[in-house]
Structure 1
């Protein structure tokens, strides 16, 4: 064979090798075929079509802030009562946060907000940073659950003196307030149709309109119930599940709030009692809390303080109920729970101003949830008959008042239907990552373990020292994104969560160190 033929053969061989290599690269780097549609946006246009929905540029606001976050919004309407589709229709607020990738994956990450009563679109500006690693490859869908935010919200403004007068629990007064709330809500909604089951049907209707993509559901707190119920009835629509601070399907919301709070506070306070500097500065926080509770139960106090937002002088009455509410909500986050031992010790010394100011801050932060009547539609339909007063709650910080209030409200509030399989645990071969905090006062780690026990492809990650809602902490955003990419919870390298630890309690308002 002459040199020219050898040269030609070598060129052909190199060409074939290059083509084979290119084909191999394309196969290994190709986007897996997924149902759904690509976002097609033409140059100069401010919107795009996804499935049958037309998205246009919009801004998502955040409570008590002038700042907004850019997104794309699309109109969507559904029947309020699906058994009577010709009846009232309600508009759902639907938004999409665009991926930073030129061509994102077709599966959509869906944020399912907590509460019940929080709206996904108003929560988004505060949690967007937690989703940054997910946005590198995927779009994030935000749907305000019916009854919240921009989806025909069921709201009832709180009375000016509600919760501040420290009056004893009165079922009659609770029911009168509930009737007034119901009268307002009934002007534009039938509360029977604002349950988790209705929300699941809405989400499936949205998926169909989007071209039936598969979903990566990220549920937080109550949102984990929505995620599990959706997966229970639409497993074919699920690509992955991330459950942050999860509640099992068979757990009645509110039934264990009292015992869970006491357990979390005792665990958090134990570190202070065991630390010489902290114990010297504030004593035994748990014993102090009991002493302060007894003092305020016997005699509520009127406290003069400066409003932390306006600096205007004001007064408010503090009693046992205020103390319990503050301790409960401050136990959610390690930064605020670290303040409690000092605030309690100062109050025992007669300085109640910091407690009053913190109560004012808490009320503002919880405004959206406290005014949401959608939570009554959920809890009265799904939990009230299962939330039975527990005699053991009598000695706890919260006592049995939460369950008693719930039952009084639900005697008035209209009930929707709870499916027969509602309390069944989620089962199957779905990839599931369950994450939580060691000191969670409302959905403790044992709930996560219970959920995972029926899901063979699940994994539970619990971070030491953290409380409720942990996805935005430390390495969790990257871990969640890695899981959604690989769908392999077992192989996830989660060694970074060993870096988490409890926030040391403050010994003065400069911090934990002398």
Structure 2
């Protein structure tokens, strides 16, 4: 597992604008050539290269670019420009960094003047790298509006704080051991800090800094109002921006809602346990599933106890290369894998089958899929930026939760955060940072019924401070639902009309859980 992915797994993801322009190119050469005569020689002068295409928006000059997702064939055509900002805003004459800004052009002849802005999750994901995976959800929006993507400072191509070179597992939890290794985490964190500090000051890669960057981008684009779409951690960025710069906000969409009051990392264990119980209850209620697997929740904990007592090396086929690979399997590796499966309804439907197979000695279904998931996660997350956010904004508020010690995720993650943040530099957390958002801006809150990291009760909490808002909970879904069913059309309708309380959401009633798999061919007929 790449060390970038290992460090990222401490959090495991807490989870084009203003004008339309057309370019016409005429064929610069004839279909065939005749020998030039004296009378025509003057007409066959060397052809000058076509001028480079640009798009001027506000003070920014954008050029064509392509947004690709790491380890994926998915890419998106866009227009890009660097945005220069001071690293330390209290010292504008100090080091400056370049932010990666991209605009996706609407297909409309005259797009609306208020662009959509996607704020990526993590913390640690880059908007330009995350977008191709959710592009379909934004397709209806692009019919009317341009879409703005900015890699938050410390991620993607915005002066990323990339860690690398360490050999330990997630947050000091070594794949070869069966316990939390504080010494290993300290070594790993210090190595990461030493690397990123060569050309960055980690104190200035926080949510507060990102909000100032977003406002600079808005001014550079001509000061339009934004329609903010925050995803997971991006909902924190959206709420904080709306509190600091309400004049820059036209609407809010919060998908996978993290309340401002939330201390990132503190409720991971209890949220996962609640989601697993609810998911496994579906199997218990289904006769075929229950007859095949019995009590999946109990089987999972029996497997955890067995691995706690006897962590060991296992072999399975790599799902990409089909080669036999060996991994050390222990209770922490199991918890990480199960948590990743719980994020989406497709993989959650496989959990009873995969856990049962692992309990009977076949770890391939569980670890093979996990290898795909951790590869995607590690390649789109920047561990150093995660530390900068959490250590500055949350770590001092984390409290031990011994009541979580016997859950599948346990209580070691809070210890891991505290250990890492005892080494990582802390930025400034403004007064009132964790205060709930109070706003009359039109807002649409989205949750999945079985979300293992930002459960629906979080959306209910944020809704209390919003006077012109609505909270939609999608049945049977997990973390992030903007692309599920007809939700893209619902979101587009909301942003167009700004009437959340009268929004027609009847089509969402057709969205539901994926039937639990009782075999690798699927569910029962």
Flag whether TM exceeds 0.5 (same fold).
yes
After TM superposition, the runs of 4+ consecutive aligned structure 1 residues lying more than 6 A away are none
SS of the residue 2:466 aligns to: coil
- Match for residue 373 of structure 1 among 371, 384, 394: 384
Aligned counterpart, 1:22: none
Q: Following the alignment from structure 2 to structure 1, what is the Cα–Cα distance between the partners of residues 197 and 479?
A: 33
Shift of 1:40: 4.8
Aligned counterpart, 1:29: none
Aligned counterpart, 1:247: 258
Aligned counterpart, 1:137: 144
Shift of 1:356: 2.6
Shift of 1:406: 0.3
Structure 1 residues 100-499: aligned runs within 5 Å:
100-157=107-164, 159-160=166-167, 162=169, 163-368=174-379, 371-499=382-510
Aligned counterpart, 2:3: none
**Residues 18 and 111 in structure 2, CA contact (< 8 A), matched pair in contact too:** no
**Residues 155 and 161 in structure 2, CA contact (< 8 A), matched pair in contact too:** yes
Q: Following the alignment from structure 1 to structure 2, what is the Cα–Cα distance between the partners of residues 158 and 510?
A: 40
Change (3 A) 1:41 1:211: farther
Shift of 1:68: 2.4
Shift of 1:511: 0.6
Where do 5+ consecutive residues of structure 2 fail to align? 1-16, 26-51
Aligned-pair Cα RMSD in Å: 1.4
Name the count of aligned residue pairs. 479
2:503 matched to 1:509? no
Rg larger in 1 or in 2? 1
More deviation in 345-354 or 228-237? 345-354
Shift of 1:353: 2.5
Aligned counterpart, 1:76: 83
**Residues 41 and 47 in structure 1, CA contact (< 8 A), matched pair in contact too:** no
Cα deviation code 1:127-156 (max 9, x no counterpart): 111001101100000000000000000011
Q: Following the alignment from structure 1 to structure 2, what is the Cα–Cα distance between the partners of residues 64 and 170?
A: 31
Shift of 1:210: 0.4
SS of the residue 1:503 aligns to: coil
SS of the residue 2:392 aligns to: helix
Q: Following the alignment from structure 2 to structure 1, what is the Cα–Cα distance between the partners of residues 342 and 354?
A: 13
Q: Following the alignment from structure 1 to structure 2, what is the Cα–Cα distance between the partners of residues 498 and 352?
A: 36
SS of the residue 2:494 aligns to: helix
**Residues 20 and 109 in structure 2, CA contact (< 8 A), matched pair in contact too:** no
Q: Following the alignment from structure 1 to structure 2, what is the Cα–Cα distance between the partners of residues 356 and 446?
A: 31
TM-score (norm 1): 0.91
TM-score (norm 2): 0.89
Aligned counterpart, 1:86: 93
SS of the residue 2:502 aligns to: coil
**Residues 178 and 331 in structure 2, CA contact (< 8 A), matched pair in contact too:** no
Shift of 1:358: 2.4
SS of the residue 2:343 aligns to: coil
**Residues 39 and 50 in structure 1, CA contact (< 8 A), matched pair in contact too:** no
Change (3 A) 1:224 1:155: same
Cα deviation code 1:187-227 (max 9, x no counterpart): 11100000000000000000000000000000000000000
**Residues 88 and 95 in structure 2, CA contact (< 8 A), matched pair in contact too:** yes
Q: Following the alignment from structure 1 to structure 2, what is the Cα–Cα distance between the partners of residues 160 and 511?
A: 38
**Residues 432 and 459 in structure 1, CA contact (< 8 A), matched pair in contact too:** yes
**Residues 39 and 49 in structure 1, CA contact (< 8 A), matched pair in contact too:** no
More deviation in 43-52 or 196-205? 43-52
Shift of 1:460: 0.2
Where do 5+ consecutive residues of structure 1 fail to align? 1-35
- Match for residue 56 of structure 2 among 38, 49, 61: 49
